[in-house]
Chain A
Amino acid sequence: MQKRIVITGLGVVSPIGVGRDAFWSSLVNGKSGIKDISVFDTSKMSSKKGGEITDFDPVEILDGINIAALDRTAQLVCSAVKLGIDDAGLDWSGTQKSKTGLLFGSSFGHTHTYSQFDRTHVSKGFLAASAKDFANSVAITNVGHASVMFGLEAFNGLVSMGQSSSLGAINLGTSFIRLDRADMVFVGGVEVLYLENFLQFYLADRLASSRDGQPEMCAPFDRRRNGTILAEGSAVAILEEYEHAAARGAKVYGEILGYGTAFDPQFASRQKTTGKGLAKAMRLALNSANLKPEEIDYICAAGSSSTYEDEVECSAIKEVFESALENVRVSAIKSMIGECFSAAGVMQLCTSAIALNTGTIPPTVNYQDPDPNCGLPLSAEAQQGSFKTAMVNTLDDSGIAASLVIGRTTGDRLVA
């Protein structure tokens, strides 16, 4: 029989809060983390907002650990991992963990440090190249710091699938536990706000208010949406095999039930809005979960406020769910957080896991003028109910779509 993989810890560092409780409190209260960007100068651009994390103190979270060697990306990763360890109630005494591994999604996590390192030695000369910046310019170092810090010896890896990255990491972590490569895997994602990326998205007219005269708002599935708002953050979910979690009396948020991914070349060329790739990813996820569309209670949508992608996601959801859509709740948490690419999927997973446990679905803020081309059952208010299953969708610009299905486990605590 296939091993059951459960979620036993959540760690979040996000624009709407640091730590699981702060994150959730903002989500259910519809509190947005989108604000004027302070980390770089936006004065020459018409887009000025981002999901920036302003109340984050890595020194406090990583109490007593030397963080001098970490860049911001690594600070976010290590902090999210530490919060996850604490939430899971793990005794982490500093000993090496040969059967615990780390898998993160990151697409742009190293780009800024790489670019800065490169620009510095090119303009100031060879001797201006710093060993610390060089180490951090290498993508894997984003997570390597966390593996060294927490003694994670099973493996240390990054997955890049853009917005779908962390779902890819979650699936790989699930698979690695099933293949006995680890007992426990910290799966997550990270992205950082920086000028290089922001400017590129801005110039490509992909940000809200990139084009003059449009409101700078993150409004997934709303008629007024006109682009995404970039964000930063990191989140971790701790995955364990069911028996392993039961043996230590772990708190269980839910179970990984299914996953699917697909690539849609037509989406990549932005020619059609059929959402073939995402529809296939959702079907694969449902099949591997052995569930029918009518058995899904909640869809935590990719909904990034992109004019094109939101419409594609709607048509894919409608194609897969058909009449079952009447009984599904849908929400888009990016309405409050913004688009943090590789960290998005795992933040959606954290949201879904807590939603199932609390019977509350967060609102989609700014959803006031529904786009008639979308027509999903969204709400600008939080919704209550009894929910057993959730689906997380991600849809990257590149054409890589992924979908994850999780389920609530009965009871708050597993009994060994």
Chain B
Amino acid sequence: MFDRRVVITGIGVLSPIGIGKEAFWQALIEGKNGIRPVTAFDTSDYPCHYGGQVWDFDPNHYLSPQAAARMGEASQFAVTSAKMALDDAGIEGRLDPERTGVALGSTNCEVRVIEKLGEIWNREGYEQTDPEFIAKYPPQLIPANVAIELEVEGPVVIMPNACAAGNWAIGCAFDLIRTGDVDVMFAGGSDPISRSAYVGFSRTFAMAQEFCQPFDKNRKGMMVSEGAAVLVLENLDNARRRGARIYAEITGYGLSCDAYHITGPHPEGKGAVRAMETALASSGLSIDDVNYISAHGTGTKANDKVETLAIKSVFGQRAKQIPVSSIKSMIGHTMGAASALEAAASALALSEGIIPPTINYSEPDPDCDLDYVPNVAREHRVEAVLSNSFAFGGNCSVLALRKWR
């Protein structure tokens, strides 16, 4: 009943290291750092000043002025990425609207809209609020805007599952195709940079200063960032029939919850272990099949240590032979978009045979003793990937992808 196979046939990306699949991938394999002083809001009162933004993004370059004007930033990101993914997939004119859907992830959805509203309240009082905000901030408008712009009429949903959101959305899209509900899904994540996330993580001492150093002994924390990625997922028969280029196959995914602490991870990575194991089991993959792990790797002391423990717990002796890298070293933590961007990177790693590096890595940490592909991309015949994402609430989601041949 659930035997339809699901492949990735289109990729659209907005990231601090590049706009569009080509620029993103080129920057990833060059090990480019996308972190700079934040310009989206004033950081002078904060202890940190750096972050990631989709530098030079101009929505009017991708959307009609009317469409751009009626959307919040998260919608603009999502629609732009989805349009790029559609172009990349080359299915113009062949979409069946009733058999196509949109599933996205985000952490807090239209944060910039809520922040602008708050600025007006602070300055002039709430009576001065402009009713245009209601036209922009409801979370469901983000996938709905994608559906409107791409003329999609199937399931439309956003899952605000924090930093695990992108994999949730991609996983649920995978299920919808596999069970035959739809043939094509636009799936991914979108998160504009959040001032409050920036303040919150700075305030709780989880932020790095100028660069993000996942798994390094001297890592100082995460780097708040923004971005979006949308993938075109398609059932295999559909993709074959139209002669589509296939980046990779999605084979399964795992979800779990630590149910341990509201913000921090379980000290032994209990949820992370179960999510990875479920991703493997649901895919019919063994630990010997996986030869790349796209890490959650935020660069915080706790995450990187626990993630390393969890990987060792799942893969045992084999863990040290598997390359593990964190692209957050280059793009920062794009929150709800992170696992979508990492799924895009993983699909490209599978199709190109190159693993993006963990940059800013200089000193090994005894707590983090795996092969993190330090600083330089590596040619590697990637066969199967686990892409990890872990979030607030002990929320874990892990996607499994396999090389298509």
Contacts and interface: CB of A to CB of B under 8 A. Distances in A.
B315 to A, nearest CB: 21
Interface in B150-167: 151-162
B118 A122 contact: yes
B296 interface: no
A101 B394 CA distance: 13
B255 interface: yes
A56 interface: no
A143 B175 contact: no
B154 to A, nearest CB: 7
A123 B122 contact: yes
Interface string B163-190: 0000010001001000100000000000
B158 A160 contact: yes
A379 to B, nearest CB: 32
Nearest to B396: A155
A315 interface: no
Given A122-B122, A262-B153, A153 B258 contact: yes
A152 interface: yes
A117 interface: yes
A119 B159 contact: no
B71 to A, nearest CB: 12
B118 A139 contact: no
B400 interface: no
B392 A162 contact: no
Interface size range on B against A: 35 or more
Nearest to A144: B393
A263 B200 contact: no
A117 B138 contact: no
Contacts of B118: 115, 118-119, 122
From A69, A108, A139, A199, name the one whose CB has the most chain B CB atoms within 10 angstroms.
Answer: A139
Nearest to A171: B155
Contacts of A122: 118-119, 122, 195
B196 interface: yes
A196 interface: yes
Contact of A140 (B153, B160, B195, B260): B160
B120 to A, nearest CB: 10
Interface in B106-155: 107-109, 111, 114-115, 117-119, 121-122, 126-127, 129-131, 133-135, 137-141, 144, 147-148, 151-155
Given A44-B127, A138-B107, A139-B160, A156 B140 contact: no
A192 B262 CA distance: 20
A54 interface: no
B400 to A, nearest CB: 14
Contact of A154 (B107, B130, B159, B255): B255
Interface size range on A against B: 35 or more
A203 B172 contact: no
Interface in A107-140: 107-108, 110-111, 114-115, 117-119, 121-123, 125-126, 129, 131, 134-135, 137-140
Contacts of A254: none
Given A129-B199, A137-B200, A152-B259, A160 B159 contact: yes
Contacts of A155: 255-257, 395
A195 interface: yes
A148 B140 contact: no
Interface string B331-354: 000000000000000000000000
Given A118-B118, A179-B175, A265-B148, A135 B133 contact: no
A160 B157 contact: yes
A139 B196 CA distance: 13
Nearest to A107: B139
Interface string B259-282: 111110000000100100010000
A253 B392 CA distance: 34
B161 A158 contact: yes
B206 to A, nearest CB: 10
Contacts of A144: 257, 262, 392-395
B138 A397 contact: yes
A170 to B, nearest CB: 13
A269 to B, nearest CB: 8
Contact of B157 (A150, A159, A397): A159
A118 B196 contact: yes
A126 B42 CA distance: 12
Contacts of B202: 126
A261 B155 CA distance: 6
A172 interface: yes
B317 interface: no
B391 interface: yes
A147 interface: yes
A148 B203 contact: no
A178 to B, nearest CB: 9
30 contacts: A44-B127, A98-B274, A111-B114, A118-B115, A119-B121, A126-B45, A126-B199, A134-B200, A134-B204, A137-B196, A138-B162, A140-B391, A140-B392, A140-B395, A141-B392, A152-B257, A153-B259, A154-B255, A154-B256, A155-B255, A159-B159, A160-B139, A160-B158, A181-B278, A200-B129, A262-B98, A263-B154, A263-B156, A269-B148, A396-B140
Given A121-B196, A153-B274, A280-B98, 20 more contacts: A97-B259, A102-B257, A131-B204, A134-B204, A147-B393, A148-B260, A148-B261, A151-B259, A157-B255, A158-B159, A160-B160, A161-B156, A172-B172, A200-B131, A204-B134, A263-B101, A263-B144, A263-B154, A277-B153, A399-B144
Interface of B: 1-2, 45-47, 98, 101-102, 107-109, 111, 114-115, 117-119, 121-122, 126-127, 129-131, 133-135, 137-141, 144, 147-148, 151-162, 168, 172, 175, 179, 195-197, 199-200, 202-204, 255-263, 271, 274, 278, 391-395
Closest 7 CB pairs of A and B: A144-B393, A134-B200, A203-B131, A200-B134, A139-B160, A156-B257, A155-B255
